[in-house]
Structure 1
Amino acid sequence: MNIGSRSSPSRTLHKILYILIWKKLEMMSNYFLKWDYALLVVLIMLYDAGLIHGEVTCLENERQALLRFKQSIDDPWGMLSTWRGDDCCKWQGITCRNQTGHVLRLHLRGSYSHHLSGQANISTLIDLQYLQHLDLSYNDFVNSYISEHIGLFSKLKYLNISDADFAGSIPYQLGNLSQLQYLDISDNDFGGEIPPQLGKLTYLQYMDLSYNYVDGVIPYQLKHLGQLQYLCLQGNSELSGAIPFQSGDLPLLQTLKLHGDFVLESKGAEWVSNLSFLNTLDLTSMSLGNSHQWLQMIRAIPNLSLRLPNGGSTDLSSNQFEGVIPSFLLYSSWLILSRNKFSNVSSLLCQENNIGSKLGTLDLSNNQLKGSLPDCWKSLSLLLFLDLSNNNLTGKIPPSMGSLVKLEALVLRSNGFIGKLPSSLKNCTTLFLLDVSENLLSGPIPSWIGESLHQLIVLSMSGNSFSGNLSKHLCYLKKIQLLDLSRNNLSNEIPTCLKNFTAMSKKSINSTETASLIYRYNNTYYYVLYGVYISRYTFNITVTWKGVKCGFKDPELRLSSIDLSSNHFTGEIPNEIVYLVGLVSLNLSRNNLSGEIPSEIGNITSLESLDLSRNHISGTIPSSLSQIDSLGVLELSNNSLYGRIPPGRHMDTFDASSFEGNPNLCGTQLNKTCPGDMPEVKPEEPTTHDDADDNSDFYEALHMSLGFGFFTGFWGLLGPLLFWRSWRIAYLRFLNKVADYIYVTVAVYVAKFHK
C-alpha cells in the first residue's frame, strides 16, 4: 500500500487492526510478547496522529491542478522554478498535510523586485479541495478576475490577493467560504457593491476591502461578523451612506478605518462609543449625520464614553469638525485632527484627567485655533510629536512646553506667536525638528539651541523678526541638515564655524543613519509606553527650494540646505563654506555681503541650487563653478562681479537673468563681448549660380595655359640637352667656365682680405 496516498479507508483498516491486536493481547500470557504487541498499537496510533510518518508525496490530481495554474501565468523572475518533478509537496510555496499529501497552503506572495504576471486563473486550482491558505498578493495579474468557483474552496481560512491587479466585481460566492478567518482584497480594481453575502462569514476576524472602486453602501448584513477584529474600507471614494451598525454589533472590533463620505449618525456614534476593544479609530474625511436628536452636533464631535484601553490611534482629519475637542480623545496615543475647523484647544489640554494620558502624537495643524495657547502642557509628558501649524494662535509660546522632555518634533509654523523663544525649550534635548517659521517672534537667536539641542536635524526659523548676530553656538549642531533663518533681521558676519556642520560635510546624506537618529527607540519601547506601535513620523517641512516655496516630506531626508537670505549680513562669504561638500542648496541672497566668491566653491559637487544675488559681491566668477554638473539653479545677479563668465560644461545653459545687474560682466550669456576678444570675421557672401559658372571658365583657361607654358619651357631647354650630343657638350663647357670664374674671383678676394 502506498503510504503517501492513504485515504480515510486506510485509517479504518488501522483501527480494525489494532482492535484485533488488543483482543489478542487479552488472550496472551507471555509478558514480553504482550508488550511487543502493545508497542505496535502505540506506533500505529502515533502514525495516524501525524506524530510519526513515512515519505509523503502529493496527489497526482492536485499536482496537475498546480501545473495548470502555472501554465496560465507568466513567471519572468523564476518564482516557480522549483515546480517540476513528481512531488509537488517539495515545490516552493507549497505546504502539504503530512498524513495525506493534500495541499494545504499555496503561498506565492510577490514583491516589487520579483513577482508573477499574466492572467491568473484561480479556477484551475479547484482540485485543491483541502486548501486552507491562499496568498497571491503583490503580483501583477492585470485585469484577472476571481471566478465564481472561489466559493468551492470550502476549507479556506486565509485569502490574500491584495495589490495583485485583480479586477471585476467582488464575487458573492466568497460568502460560501464558511471557514474563512482572514480576507484581504485591498489595492485592486474591484468595482460594484459589497456583496451582502459576506455577512455569512461568521468566523471572519480580518477584512480589508480598501483602495478599490467599490460603490454603494455598507451592507447591514456585516453586523453578523461577530468575530471581526479589523475592518478597513478606506480609499473607496464611491462608497457612502450611513454606517449600518449599532450597539452590540461587531463587539470584538479593535481597528476601524472608514475614509470617505460615510455619515456617522446617532446609532453609529453610539455603536463606536461601546466598542470596548477598539484601539485604532480612523474616520478621515467623514461627516456627521443630521438625524433627529443629533441636529445640534452636525459639525461637533460628542464627548463619547469611548475609551481606547491600549492607547490606540485616532484619525479624524479632513472633516468639517468644529467647536470643542472632546476629552475622550486624550485616551488615544496617536491623535490626528488636522484639516478641520477646531477653534479651541484648551478643553483638550487643561483637564485634570490628563495625568494618565498616553498621548504620543497630536496633530492639530490646518485648523482655526485662535488666541493664546494654554500653559498646561505638563500633563502630556509622553508627547513625541506636536504639530500646531497653520492656525491663528497668538501670544507667547507657553513655558510649560519645556516640560515635554520626550518631544522629538515641534511644529508651530504659520501662526502669530510673539516674543522670544522660551528658554525652557532647552530641556527638549531629543528634538530633531524645530519649526517656528512664519510667526512674529523676535530677539536674538538663543545660544541654547546650539548648546542643548544637539539632535536637531531640521531648524526652521524663517519669516520672523529675529535680530542680532548669528550665534557661534549654532555651529554645535553637527547633525543639522536643513538650516533656514531667512527673512529675519540678522546682521554682522556669517560665522566661519559653519564648517562644523558634520552632516553637510559628507558627500551624501545617509538616510538610514538619519532614520536611526530619528527613530532611536525600537517599537517594543514605544509599545510599552503608549500601548501601540508608533508609526514613523512624516516630515512636513516648508522651505524655499530653487526659488519656489515647497513642502517636503519623506523621503526628502536627504535634503541638505542652508538659507540665510533676506537678512542684513555683512562681510565676506566664509571660505569654510567649501568644506560642506554635501550641500545641495545654498541661498545667501538679499544681504549686504561683499568680497569675492570663494575660488574653490566647485568643491561642493552636490550643489543643485546657488543664490548669491542682490549683494555687493565683487571679483570674477570662479572657473570651478562650471565644474558642478548638478547645478540647476544659479543666481548671481545684482552684484559687482566683473570679467568673463567662465565657459564650459553647462554654464552656457543659464540665461541672462542669472547674471544681469553686473555692469562689468561679459560673456555669451549676456550677449556682450569681453575686452581682448578678436573681432568676428564674417564669411564672404556666396556667389550666385551665374557668377560661379564664369569664374569656373576663367580658372579652367588659366590652368590650361600654365600647363602648356610649363611643358614648352621644360622641353625647350632640356630636350636638346638630352637628345643632341653637341648641345650637351657645349652646355657642360659653359658650366665649367662659370665655375672657374667664380673660383678665381673668390681666391683674389680672400688674398686681399689677408693682406
Structure 2
Amino acid sequence: MDKVLLSIHIVIFGALLLFTRGKSFVQSSSSSHTHPNHTVTSCIASERSALLGFKAGLSDPAYLLSSWKGDECCKWKGVHCSTRNSHVVKLDLQGHGCDPNSDAWTQVLGGNISSSLLGLRHLQYLDLSCNGFYGVQVPEFLGSLHKLRYIDLSSLSFIGRIPPQLGNLSNLQYLNLNSEYFNTTYSMDITWLSQLTSLVHLDLSGTNLTTIVHWLPVVNMLPSLKVLHLINCNLRTSSASLQLSNLTFLETLDLSANGFHTHIARNWFWDLTSLKYLYISSNGFYGQFPDEIGNMTSIVKLDLSSNNLFGMIPSNLKNICSLEEFFVHETNINGSITKFFQRLPSCSWNKLTYLSLASSNLTGRLPTKLEPFNNLIYLDISRNKLIGPMPLWIGELTKLTYLDLGYNSLDGFIHEGHLSGLESLEWLWLSDNSLTLTVNSTWVPPSSLTNIELRSCLLGPKFPPWLRWLTSLDNLDISNTSISDTVPDWFWITASTLYTLKMGHNKISGSLPSTIEFMGATAIDLGSNQFNGTIPKLPISLSDLDLSRNKLDGPLPLDFGTPNLMKLVLFDNSISGTIPSSFAK
C-alpha cells in the first residue's frame, strides 16, 4: 500500500510541476497590465471598498491581510494594479494549506467569498487556492467578472454544484477547481465548458461527474486546450475515438482514478500525437500493452500503472526518444526483467528519471550489464519475482535518490561497490531478500540516506557500525538481520531523529537508555530480542511500541509519558508489580 501511495504521490508531484508551468504561462500573458506592488501609488476608491468588503467576510486568524489598511490598496498584500489606469487586475491570495508543513493550515484564509468582488470589474487574475473555505460553494457571481482570464480555486474544500455561470467567462484561459482530496463538488451538466473557447488549462479533478456520459465531445470543443486534469471524477465512459479531434494542442492529459473498465487499445487519446504527459492509472483498463504507445513520439511522462494490463511492453518503443518518466507498477507484465530493459527506447536511456515497475510480475535475473541510466532518480522494482545477485551497475546511478528492490528473491553479497557511488541516495529499501551486506567496518554510507529498510537481509552478527554516520535518519528497519550484539551508546544519538525504528527478531542485548525519552519516534519495534533492565520513560510522540519477547524486568514506569499511545505489546518479559493508574489515561 505504501508503494501505491508513493507512486500516486509521484504522479501528483508531476502534475503540480505542470500546474506551475501552466500558471506561469497565463501569468505572463497578463503581465503587461501589472507590476510589483511597490511601484503603484494610486488606488481607485470604489475598488478599495470592494476589497474591504471582501475582507470583511473572511476569517484571518494568522493576520495574513494585516497590510490591508490605509488608502493605497495597490500596495496591499496580493493586490496588483494596472500601470495604465490603476484598476485592480490581479488578486493573488494563495494560502499555505497545500504546504506539507504540519502547521500549514494555520496560515490560511477562511469564511465566505463575498460578492463585493464584483466591484473589481477589471479583474483578470484570481487565486484563492490552498485556503480554508470549508463548506462554501463555488460562487456563481464569478461568472459576471467578464475580464477574468485566470481562476485558481483549487484545494479549498468547496461543496455543491459547480456553477454553469462560469461559462460566461469567454476570456478565461486557466480554470482550476481541483478538489481531488475532498471530492465534495459535482456537476450534472458540463455543456457550459464549451463556451470557454480560449481555455488553455482545465482542472476539474475531484469533481463528481458520474452522470456525465458525453463529456468528451464537450472537451473536444476547446481548441486551445493544452492541459486537462480530470482525476478521480467518477467518469465511467471513454470513447474509442474522436471523428474529428480539435485537441491538436493538448500536451497534458490526466484521467487517473476513474472507472472506465474498457479495453486499453480502444481509446481516443492514442491519436493525440502531441501529448507529452499522459496519466491513465487506476482506471480498470484491460488488455495487452497497446502498440499505439509507440506512435506517441512526443511522450515525456507516461503512467499506465494499476490497470489490468498484461504482457511485455511493446517492441515499437524505439521512437519514444523524449521519455523521462515511465510508470507500469501494479500491472501483469509477466516476463523477463532483462527483456523489459531491452524494450525501453535506447534513445531515452540518458533521459529517464523515474522508472516504477513494482508488483508487475517481472521474473528472472537483473542483467549483469546495462547501459547506465545516467539521470535516473527513482527506481522501484519491488514486489516481483527477481532472483540472483544485485548487479554492480546499480552503483553507477549517481543521481539516484530512491531505490527499492524489496520483496523479491535476490541473493548474494552487497559491498561498497554497490552503494558508494550512490551519493544522492535517500531511500534504500532491500527488505525481504536474501542479500548479505558485507562492507568494511570503516565504510561511510551516502550521507543523504534518510530511509533504510533492510529487513530479513544479513547484516550481523555485529551491530552495523556504518549507521553511526547517518545523522538525518527518518526511518530504519533492520529487523530479522541476524544481529547478535549489544547496542552501542552512539546509536541512541543517531536514533534520536527517527520517526520509526524497527529492530525486532534479532538477538540484540543491552538495556534501554533513559535518553530514549527524548527521541522523536512515533513507532518503535524492539520485540523478540534480549533487552534487559527496566522500561524507561518513553517518547511523548510514541503511538506504537513493541517490546515483547525480551528479558525486561522490574515494575512498569508510573508514567509512560506517551499520551498518544495506541498500541502496546509487552508479553513474554519478566515485568513485575502493578499496572500503573496512568494507563487509564
Please indicate, yes or no, whether the TM-score normalized by the shorter chain is above 0.5: yes
Q: Deviations over 1:428-457 (max 9, x none)?
A: 433333222223x15x54225971424333
2:505 equivalent among 562, 566, 575: 566
Residue 407 of structure 1 aligns with an amino acid whose one-letter code is L
Q: Partners in 1 of 2:60 and 2:544 — Cα distance?
A: 45
Question: Is 1:638 aligned to residue 578 of structure 2?
Answer: no
**Counterpart selection for 1:324 from 312, 318, 339:** 312
Q: TM-score, normalised by structure 2?
A: 0.74
Counterpart-to-counterpart distance in 2, 1:627 and 1:302: 64
1:104 and 2:89 are equivalent in the alignment: yes
Q: Which residue of 1 aligns with 2:166?
A: 174
Q: Is the 8 A contact 2:416 2:439 kept in 1?
A: no
Does residue 1:315 correspond to 2:307, yes or no? no
Note closer, same or farther for the CA distance 1:68–1:487 as it changes in structure 2 (3 Å cut): closer
- For residues 585-600 of structure 1, what are the structure 2 equivalents within 5 Å? 586-591=524-529, 593=530, 596-597=532-533
1:254 to 229, 235, 251: 251
Moved more, 205-214 or 348-357: 348-357
Distance 1:206 1:141, change over 3 A: same
Match of 2:326 in 1: 335
**d(CA) in 2 for partners of 1:478, 1:54:** 51
Matching residue of 1:304: 294
Rounded Cα–Cα distance in structure 2 between residues aligned with 1:189 and 1:428: 47
The 2-side partners of 1:75 and 1:604 are apart by 34
Q: Larger relative CO (CA 8 A, sep 6+): 1 or 2?
A: 2
CA 1:85 to 1:300, structure 2 compared with 1: closer, same or farther past 3 Å?
Answer: same
- Identity percentage of aligned residues: 25
Q: Secondary structure at the match of 1:321?
A: strand
Q: Give the 3-state SS of the residue equivalent to 1:140 in structure 2.
A: coil
Q: CA offsets, 1:679-722, max 9 Å, x none?
A: xxxxxxxxxxxxxxxxxxxxxxxxxxxxxxxxxxxxxxxxxxxx
Q: 3-state DSSP class of the match of 2:133?
A: coil
Q: Select the residue among 499, 506, 511 that pairs with 2:490.
A: 499
| Displacement of 1:353 | 4.5
Q: Once the two structures are superposed, what CA deviation does each residue of 1:547-595 show, in whole Å capped at 9, x if it has no partner?
A: xxxxxxxxxxx514141x334x37x42677967952745544434x38x
Alignment of 1:266-665 (within 5 A): 266=266, 268-272=268-272, 274-275=273-274, 278-288=275-285, 297=287, 300=290, 302-308=292-298, 312-326=300-314, 327=317, 331-344=322-335, 345-351=337-343, 353-354=345-346, 356-357=348-349, 358-421=351-414, 424-430=417-423, 431-439=425-433, 441=434, 444-448=436-440, 451-455=443-447, 456-464=449-457, 466=458, 469-470=461-462, 472-479=464-471, 480-488=473-481, 490=482, 493-497=484-488, 499-500=490-491, 502-504=493-495, 506=496, 509=497, 558-563=498-503, 565-567=504-506, 569=507, 572-573=509-510, 581-582=518-519, 584=521, 586-591=524-529, 593=530, 596-597=532-533, 601-602=536-537, 611-615=546-550, 617=551, 620-621=553-554, 625-626=557-558, 628-630=560-562, 632=565, 635-639=569-573, 641=574, 644-645=576-577, 650=582
Between the two proteins, the alignment pairs up a number of residues equal to 520
What is the aligned-residue RMSD (CA, Å)? 4.1
**Which residue matches 2:20?**
none
CA spacing shift, 1:268–1:57, aligned 2, 3 Å: same
AA partner of residue 307 (structure 2): N
| Cα distance, 1:316 vs structure 2 | 2.0
Residues 88 and 458 of structure 1, relative CA distance in 2, 3 Å threshold: closer
| Matching residue's letter, 1:561 | L
Look up the match of 2:44: 58
The one of 189, 195, 211 equivalent to 2:190 is 195
Change (3 A) 1:65 1:369: same
Return the alpha-carbon distance in structure 2 between the equivalents of residues 638 and 286 of structure 1. Answer: 47
Provide Cα deviations, 1:616-660, integer angstroms capped at 9, x if missing partner: x37x5277x445412846555435x47x5377563x669xxxxxx
Paired amino acid for 1:614: R
1:242 to 239, 242, 260: 239
Q: Aligned equivalents of 1:71 and 1:468: distance in 2?
A: 65
Matched to 2:562, the amino acid is: S
Cα contact 1:587–1:611 (8 A) shared by 2: yes
Tell me, in whole angstroms, the C-alpha distance in 1 between the residues paired with 2:45 and 2:352.
55
Determine helix, strand or coil for the equivalent of 1:417: strand
Contact 1:450 1:475 in 2 (8 A): no
Q: Secondary structure of 2:238's match?
A: strand
TM-aligned CA distance change 1:389 to 1:131, over 3 Å: same
Residue 204 of structure 1: aligned partner = 199
Higher helix share goes to which structure? Answer: 1
Secondary structure of 2:223's match? coil
The letter for the 1-side match of 2:418 is L
Q: 1:636 & 1:78 partners in 2: Cα distance?
A: 48
C-alpha distance in structure 1 between counterparts of 2:282 and 2:338, whole Å: 24
Change (3 A) 1:284 1:475: closer
Alignment of 1:86-235 (within 5 A): 89=74, 93-111=78-96, 112-122=105-115, 124-137=116-129, 138-140=131-133, 142-147=135-140, 150-187=142-179, 189-193=184-188, 195-215=190-210, 216=212, 217-235=214-232
1:151 deviates by 4.0
For residue 210 of structure 1, report the CA deviation from its aligned partner. 1.1
Give the CA deviation at 1:191: 1.6
Give the unaligned 5+ runs of structure 2: 1-34, 97-104
The answer to whether the Cα contact below 8 Å between 1:230 and 1:254 also exists between their aligned partners in 2 is: yes
Cα 1:447–1:90 shift into 2, 3 Å: closer
CA contact (8 A) 1:119 1:144 kept: no
CA contact (8 A) 2:199 2:224 kept: yes
1:132 CA drift (Å):
1.7
For residue 296 of structure 2, give the secondary structure of its aligned residue in structure 1: coil
- TM-score under structure 1 length normalisation: 0.59
1:89 to 1:458, Cα distance in 2 relative to 1, 3 A = closer
Aligned residue number for residue 27 of structure 2: none
